[in-house]
Amino acid sequence: MNQEAPKQLGIVVSGSLTKGVEVKLDNAISVEDMAVGRYVTIEGERQRFLGMVTDVSLGAIDPRVSVAPPDLSDPFIAEVIKGSSTYGSLHVMPQLALGEMLGLPGEGPQPVKTVPAHFSVVREASQRDIELVFGSEDERLFYIGNPLDMETKVCLDLAQFVMRSNGIFGKSGTGKTFLTRLLLVGLLQKDVASSLVFDMHNEYGWEGRSEHGYKVKALKQLFPSKVAVFTLDEESSRRRGVSTDFVVNIGYDEIEPEDVELLSETLGLTEAAKQACYRLARRFGQRWLESFLALESREDLNSLANSLGEHEATLASLHRRLDTLRRLAFLVPQAADNSVRRILEYLERGINVVLEFGRYTDITAYILVANLLTRRIHAQYRARTEEAMGADRPLPRPLVITIEEAHKFLNPQVADQTIFGTIAREMRKYNVTLLVIDQRPSGIDDEVMSQLGTKITCLLDNERDIEAVLTGTPGRGELRSVLSRLETKQQALIFGHALPVPVVVKVREYGSAESYKSFGFKDTAELKRQAEADIDRLWGDG
């Protein structure tokens, strides 16, 4: 039985390949039912096109209607005027050629290289059209949300997603944390990469909270055998009822001048102070920071400054600013265990690591720890990748490192000096990529933004942030209007490497019992019933 054809919306009346096409709405279609971000199909003479609505407008055949509006108190007059003198129109950006029209053979979705002919019929996109473009969920495609006003699933290709660094953006309160948690669940569920999450606000390990304050399950609850929770603050984890797998301590002897250099903005270090760190390391060796902070008197500092050829005020200022690190209790003279080695051991066993920061939510602690650990982990991956290539062995399992407040690591002043800027530019050279989360994308270096493969963007209302996110994106002018009109909750514009075309989605539900089941989670009662059923099958008579 043939399915009913999708509703006709109007016809193409003008347009171009670079700017999109104009569609005159049929009289029976209310302009108020149209919304930017929706998908439509266009039936050309030889091809079918999939396009996104990027603008909705009103028009009049006779300009006098706008100057001297008629009396519309009579419903009949109003209907006549609407059908003959005024009309609604859509601006549509064709995204893909879907294939055959009128029985002609097609090759499946292809990039658009032409425009549909005049008076081509425009219809609502069907579920079959969306499935043809975005596929159906399988071992690599992950259901992320639904197109506007449709129940069809939009799927991300996570195997493509992990090949490059990616970003999640949006103003505060738009759901970036939920989107991040959803994507991390997808990486776990599809098992396409390992994850290391620097969890600044303790949202991704055991449980998090919604915007309304209710608790939601995080990665460890959903995948207990696949996730390990590390912590910098064992006391905080204990108070929250979180069972941790490892307590991270960092020795002063592990901190190198490169780790301090990235703190220059938060600690207010001058260029001279940063260079002094390297001279101190040459003088005192591996324990340079501990030895420097042990100097208490001004005389000792002045004597050291003279021997190093440094200005006394520079060294004194550096000492005061680095002394603030002493309040971080996870910093110890010498750590009893090697945190980098422990993280790598878990990752090698296929167990993902979430590092909670507990009460250490200030940006100084976050930058210091994330940078220090990432530099060393990346160095290990680089060595292992080069060894594997030399010995013709399988490469290390892909690793995705998640960081929040990304502009602190990737701003134009430091991006070319930090390990995070290096990873973003390398794409997946050593099988390490980033998932960056930020509410100020304009603070991220333009070159880094251009290297991000897939961008998932919630509502942004700052023009500079919108411009930064869309840098280098085809059709950026049209996408700008779509992005600026997203709803404040549960909507996102997704575009880039892991999707065939940009799409606005209503983000998949997260937090209900049904959503947990869709991720494969089984509650305690269900696990008990399953165990009893297994015993019955094992010992039953049948």
Break the chain into its structural domains and give their ranges.
Answer: 8-134, 156-249+337-518, 252-327
Structure tokens belonging to residue 166: 């990616």
Range in 155-164, 177-186, 332-341, 420-429 the model is least confident about: 420-429
Other beta carbons within 10 angstroms of residue 38's beta carbon come to: 23
pLDDT of residue 73: 66
Average pLDDT, the chain: 88
Cα–Cα dist 378/382, whole Å:
6
362 bridge partner residues: none
Backbone angles phi, psi at 532, to 5 degrees: -65, -40
Go through 346-375 and write b for each residue having 16 or more CB atoms within 10 A of its CB, e for each that does not.
bbeeebbbbbbbbebeeebbbbbbbbbbbb
Backbone angles phi, psi at 354, to 5 degrees: -115, 120
Confidence of residue 104 (pLDDT cuts 50, 70, 90): very low
The pLDDT tens digits of the residues spanning 281-336 come to 999 999 999 999 999 889 999 999 999 888 999 999 999 999 999 999 999 999 99
| Higher per-residue pLDDT: 70 or 20 | 20
The residue to which tokens 């979430």 are assigned = 354
**How open is the CA angle 495-497-499, to the nearest 5 degrees?**
55
- Tell me, which fold does domain 156-249+337-518 have in CATH? Rossmann fold (3.40.50)
Q: What is the mean pLDDT of residues 111-137?
A: 91
| 98 has pLDDT over 70 | yes
| 515 has pLDDT over 60 | yes
| 201 has pLDDT over 80 | yes
pLDDT of residue 105: 46
Q: CB-based contacts of 186: which residues, under 8 Å, 6+ apart? A: 142, 144, 156, 158
The pLDDT tens digits of the residues spanning 379-413 come to 999 999 999 998 888 889 999 999 999 999 999 98
pLDDT of residue 392: 86
